[in-house]
Structure 1
């Protein structure tokens, strides 16, 4: 349902609830009465599609690093964005160019009065799931995309056409994107296309997959060992022994092949097992489930779980028991 925010405060509150906290600055000489905003929200699968308009030139500053992916598209007009802590400089957003912020980024934007914007809010775990399916193995560290997304050529142009088809179907209200069993296929098509089209930290791994480069035998043995012994008190030394290499060589192999570390990979497997048990309504306490899957430092476990899934283990447990 659309949410009309006819003044800047209501607009900011509505947009913050759907995206993240931000500061809006009106140009000199403009009063808050000149602001006429609109906020609309829809979903395709797990992707949030947020449509925003403000009706006046504004500067916007994202106040905290985001914890999701944000694809910013222009319906009309234009904007520029500068992501903090990157070398991308100012990126243009217009009908031919988009911007993509990754988790951990913040930014400042300058929007013209005609700028109508679409934000695709995509959670990290959703991107991880699609990338893992494309790679045929765990994804490793979170993907960091390049900020500027060219929609005029190559994969970017194809992705723009796909996105336009999805948005057109959404506006009909009775299309396939409204069907709960079909929406996930649309979502995955958008995400796999984005991963294939947009450069980022995942690009080398995808290229290796396309070229059919085999994983090292040692890595395959270690990954199988971790799966089989995930609940046992194993560590880097045990993994190196299974691979028949030094711990330093093991660390290098994980970094080159998975973009991660042996410890982070094992922790990810254990967190996944804990989450599955909690979602299935395990009768044990959260502590018992964590201990069963190899976590002995419970405060570190809780922090790692929240960092990966964006909620506490107790929140997952309550959600899974509904």
Structure 2
């Protein structure tokens, strides 16, 4: 265990660990040299290859915190130097960056600029291989990191709607759509879950509190901010999808247990298959068949949670997944655990609820 406040020196480099890195607690540090900054960032965020450009400010300092909630994590940083990061691999995580001062530039492969987040704004970033982040010198920011599978589960639980396209939060000002409300919730979670907080409890209460903060943050994220799934709440903040696309989706929902081809969908929509594919790429970020697969996965997830199936193979076949093994791979990718594990957890929760009902009956 590392004692809070201990200072290490090596080859003229100084690093101050400002909190204990116990399991479940914040992983935090202060560093005042390029080497110490890189070493600590690589340890805290290993999926990113970090760089501190040599033309950075002479004042070389970084204060960094990482707070694990339940399935999500909050990171916060304040640094005098500019930083660059390159994603090593796809992690199926979505990061939501709140920039307080300075700015962050997001780039894709071959240096293609994708998005700039200036001070006072928030936007989402997918952690994909070769994704590049460039942090301005004298920046401070906070980020919420969410596994895509957890985000999908929470979205479907909160809205009761299937997750048919990947989440995207466009560039949004702090003052817009209660973005500052979500930011303040994350800041409060950081403070209350810190080992240094006066009423902090590192025992059994902390996981419960961390999970509650995570659920509150995700509820605010879905219900308040102008993301691309906002229509699930009936807010109508984004341009409505074409009626042909909506007809095709309605046909999908009504025929999940039947074989469906792209020609079937085009016929239901009243347009050509090529036109329908183009509409889905534009408004759903994928193909019609990919969206149909998401509807079927959501139906399977709902059936498993509700205890409406006793056999995963039968469930897969009933929803037109002819290969149960392929269905298990798709389900695990979508929800973070295998369908058999999800079914076992649902049964265990059902037994607990039944026992509680009997006890208080």
TM-score scaled by structure 1?
A: 0.66
Deviates more, 1:53-62 or 1:201-210: 201-210
1:165 equivalent in alignment to 2:184: yes
SS in 2 for 1:117: strand
1:59 match: 84
- Checking the alignment, whether the CA contact within 8 Å between 1:232 and 1:294 is kept in structure 2 is yes
In the alignment, the residues of structure 2 paired with residue 136 and residue 142 of structure 1 have an alpha-carbon distance, to the nearest angstrom, of 16
Q: Deviations over 1:238-289 (max 9, x none)?
A: 4455x383553882696399635442232112212333445567543x4443
Among 75, 82, 88, the residue aligned to 1:50 = 75
1:141 match: 165
TM-score scaled by structure 2?
A: 0.60
1:289 equivalent in alignment to 2:315: yes
In the alignment, the residues of structure 2 paired with residue 136 and residue 215 of structure 1 have an alpha-carbon distance, to the nearest angstrom, of 23
- Checking the alignment, whether the CA contact within 8 Å between 1:42 and 1:48 is kept in structure 2 is yes
Note the C-alpha offset of 1:131. 7.3
C-alpha distance 246-184 of structure 1, shift in aligned 2 (>3 A): same
Note the C-alpha offset of 1:52. 3.9
1:97-108 matches, cutoff 5 A: 97-102=121-126, 104=128, 106-108=131-133
SS in 1 for 2:225: helix
> Superposition RMSD on alpha carbons, in Å?
4.8
C-alpha distance 111-258 of structure 1, shift in aligned 2 (>3 A): closer
2:300 match: 274
Unpaired runs of 5+ residues, structure 1, are: none
In the alignment, the residues of structure 2 paired with residue 218 and residue 15 of structure 1 have an alpha-carbon distance, to the nearest angstrom, of 40
- Checking the alignment, whether the CA contact within 8 Å between 1:100 and 1:149 is kept in structure 2 is no
2:48 match: 22
C-alpha distance 184-92 of structure 1, shift in aligned 2 (>3 A): closer
In the alignment, the residues of structure 1 paired with residue 55 and residue 64 of structure 2 have an alpha-carbon distance, to the nearest angstrom, of 22
- What is the total number of aligned residue pairs between the two structures? 298
1:255 match: 280
- Checking the alignment, whether the CA contact within 8 Å between 1:302 and 1:313 is kept in structure 2 is yes
Note the C-alpha offset of 1:295. 0.6
C-alpha distance 230-11 of structure 1, shift in aligned 2 (>3 A): same
Unpaired runs of 5+ residues, structure 2, are: 1-24, 194-198, 201-207, 349-361
- Checking the alignment, whether the CA contact within 8 Å between 1:230 and 1:270 is kept in structure 2 is yes
